[in-house]
Amino acid sequence: MGIATESQQEHKASSESTTTEKKRWTLNDFDIGKPLGRGKFGHVYLAREKRSNHIVALKVLFKSQLKQSQVEHQLRREKRVYLILEYAAKGELYKELQRCKYFSERRAATYVASLARALIYCHGKHVIHRDIKPENLLVGAQGELKIADFGWSVHTFNRRRTMCGTLDYLPPEMVESVEHDSNVDIWSLGVLCYEFLYGVPPFEAKEHSDTYRRIIQVDLKFPPKPIVSSAAKDLISQMLVKDSSQRLPLHKLLEHPWIVQYADPLAFTRVD
């Protein structure tokens, strides 16, 4: 990931001698194309780096929007910040799931195994994502998943109490505002696995209060359709456990019979 900024001194900087070797990118280094989407803090565009012709995603963060979320202290004089990100050619996994309704067990297991490996890497770096969901997973040109949007991520050195993320994927400890750790990502991955196979999150309800209740009670039900193997249900049940210390560890998940039988060992996940 690269970073370029536009500050109040931008015009002054642009008038300086161009003979000085560039040490960072500016907008002039890119051809900016179509919009790819918009997020909480800004917009994302398709772009091409002129020198290499490399295709990237250009994320524009607006300080005015950051102020609304009280995170503008992370900036100084910048008016805008531009993040140069790897481009995921096939977009959000959410849209693919909407198109397919639900995934085959082979595809679901491959995605879950790939995400487990990526989360093992993140947790090894003392990072909890805390917002794993289809909208935050991108699909590359070869069909590989890329974890994106680390806006709610934190370091694991201290246990947390903040409730954050998306309701359908929140674990009981967040709903009840008690301390949580990296095991929240295991819960979210379990919710995701269920949604891959059934097309809906497991605790979804018409009213938010009912969703909260179902999460706290771990009111987990497996509908008769679509048909899902008992091995897949077993894995989900071992991940969606109220006591976070009893959830199936990610390294054990990779050894689960369902993953061993169905996951494509050649698939991989990138972390952006």
> Is residue 66's pLDDT more than 70?
no
Over residues 195-222, the pLDDT tens digits come to 999 999 999 999 999 999 999 999 999 9
Percent pLDDT > 90 in the chain is 45
CA–CA dist 109, 107 (Å, integer): 6
Decide if 131 is catalytic.
Answer: yes
Over residues 227-237, the pLDDT tens digits come to 999 999 999 99
Mean confidence (pLDDT) of the chain: 81
149 labelled ligand-binding: yes
Within 147-205, where are the H helices? 172-175, 183-198
Q: What is the CATH number of domain 2-86?
A: 3.30.200.20
Name the band, by pLDDT with cuts 50, 70 and 90, for residue 128: confident
Name the band, by pLDDT with cuts 50, 70 and 90, for residue 12: very low
94 labelled ligand-binding: no
67 labelled ligand-binding: no
Among residues 234, 230, 116, the alpha carbon closest in space to that of 183 is found at: 116
Cβ-based neighbour number of residue 92 at 10 Å: 18
Name the band, by pLDDT with cuts 50, 70 and 90, for residue 87: confident
125 labelled ligand-binding: no
Quote the pLDDT of residue 102.
97
Over residues 95-108, the pLDDT tens digits come to 999 999 999 999 99
> Is residue 6's pLDDT more than 50?
no
Which sequence spans correspond to the domains of the chain? Answer: 2-86, 93-271
Per-residue burial over 171-183, b if 16 or more Cβ lie within 10 Å, else e, is bbbbbeeeebebb
More confident residue, 23 or 245: 245
What tokens were used for 249?
């560890």
CA–CA dist 170, 162 (Å, integer): 11
CA–CA dist 191, 199 (Å, integer): 11
Q: Using CA atoms in the order 105, 107, 112, 117, what is the torsion angle rounded to 10 degrees? A: 140
Cβ-based neighbour number of residue 99 at 10 Å: 7
Q: What is the CATH number of domain 93-271?
A: 1.10.510.10
Name the band, by pLDDT with cuts 50, 70 and 90, for residue 14: very low
Section 39-65 average pLDDT: 82
Section 84-95 average pLDDT: 86
88 labelled ligand-binding: yes
pTM of the model: 0.76
Name the band, by pLDDT with cuts 50, 70 and 90, for residue 86: confident
Name the band, by pLDDT with cuts 50, 70 and 90, for residue 129: confident
* Helix (H/G/I), strand (E/B), else coil: 3: strand
Name the band, by pLDDT with cuts 50, 70 and 90, for residue 71: very low
More confident residue, 144 or 17: 144
133 labelled ligand-binding: no
Over residues 19-49, the pLDDT tens digits come to 444 557 888 889 999 998 876 667 889 999 9
Q: Which of 29, 131, 234, 264 is the catalytic position?
A: 131
